[in-house]
């Protein structure tokens, strides 16, 4: 479950309490919680983010990070990866419309997103598990399927978090390009799931969400090679 912190932060202290409660509920039920916090700062500050989001009240199993400040951003999170129970997803090729303003720039002829993916591969190599994937993964949007396929082909050890399915426009055949042998990626959908009940009175919210999730799963499975 990918939990986007911004919507909770917008509600102030009560929102942050709800964020903590959401993470506890997910993890207490045996689920995996991805704290979508997109943190990225200098080393001392990043160290506090690591403590805040991989332990304590806001503890998640994975968190998302922005790599713009370089290795200083991710280094404080690495001791948590050493324990073998935590992971990171670092932004590479994001799903938003203006992502290309920076990520498609080509210093030396290679797009920035591939430079970043290579950094993540190197940083995460010591944390490669038995399945061949690193605990330091990459965020690559399904709204750019060609770039997604390019990253997957070039970096088979990167576990991918793939946002953009549903409301943002990515389709099953797009996100299916992230998988290797039916694994190696997790596809994120938010609005298309939590809004599945809209215009459909008479059935409980949770039942609509479950039906939408099952439909999404089958659509993606049908497109896997």
The domain 1-83 is classified under which CATH number: 1.20.1250.20, 3.20.20.70, 1.10.150.20, 3.40.50.150?
3.20.20.70
Please confirm, yes or no, whether 38 is among the known catalytic residues: yes
Among 41-50, 58-67, 145-154, 216-225, the minimum mean pLDDT is found in 216-225
Return the pLDDT at 209. Answer: 87
Query: pLDDT of 139-190, one tens digit each?
Result: 999 999 999 999 999 999 999 999 988 778 889 999 999 999 899 999 998 8
Q: Which of 38, 86, 171, 200 is catalytic?
A: 38
Give the position of tokens 């050493």. 82
**Nearest CA to 73 among 93, 49, 101, 98?**
49
**Nearest CA to 76 among 122, 45, 119, 55?**
45
Domains 1-83 and 86-225 fall in the same CATH topology? yes
- List, in sequence order, every beta strand (DSSP E) within the chain: 2-4, 34-39, 62-65, 87-93, 136-140, 160-162, 185-187
Architecture in CATH of 86-225? Alpha-Beta Barrel (3.20)
Q: Tokens for 22, please give them.
A: 């959401």
For the chain, domain boundaries:
1-83, 86-225
Return the pLDDT at 214. Answer: 92
Return the pLDDT at 200. Answer: 72
Return the pLDDT at 176. Answer: 95
């Amino acid at each position: 479950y990918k939990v986007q912190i911004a919507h909770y932060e917008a509600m102030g202290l009560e929102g942050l309490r709800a964020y903590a409660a959401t993470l506890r509920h997910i993890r207490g039920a045996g689920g995996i919680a991805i704290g979508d916090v997109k943190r990225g700062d200098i080393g001392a500050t990043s160290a506090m983010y690591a403590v805040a989001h991989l332990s304590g009240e806001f503890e998640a199993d994975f968190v998302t990070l922005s790599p713009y400040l370089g290795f200083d951003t991710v280094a404080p999170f690495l001791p948590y990866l050493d324990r073998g129970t935590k992971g990171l997803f670092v932004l590479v090729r994001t799903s938003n419309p203006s992502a290309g303003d920076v990520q498609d720039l080509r210093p030396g002829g290679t797009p920035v997103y591939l430079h970043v993916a290579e950094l993540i591969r190197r940083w995460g190599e010591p944390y490669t598990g038995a399945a061949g994937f690193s605990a330091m993964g990459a965020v690559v949007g399904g709204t750019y399927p060609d770039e997604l396929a390019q990253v997957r082909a070039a970096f088979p050890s990167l576990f991918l978090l793939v946002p953009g399915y549903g409301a943002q426009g990515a389709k099953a055949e797009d996100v299916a390009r992230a998988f290797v042998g039916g694994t190696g990626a997790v596809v994120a959908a938010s609005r298309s799931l939590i809004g599945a009940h809209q215009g459909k009175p008479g059935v409980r919210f949770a039942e609509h969400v479950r039906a939408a999730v099952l439909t999404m799963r089958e659509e993606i499975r049908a497109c896997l090679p």
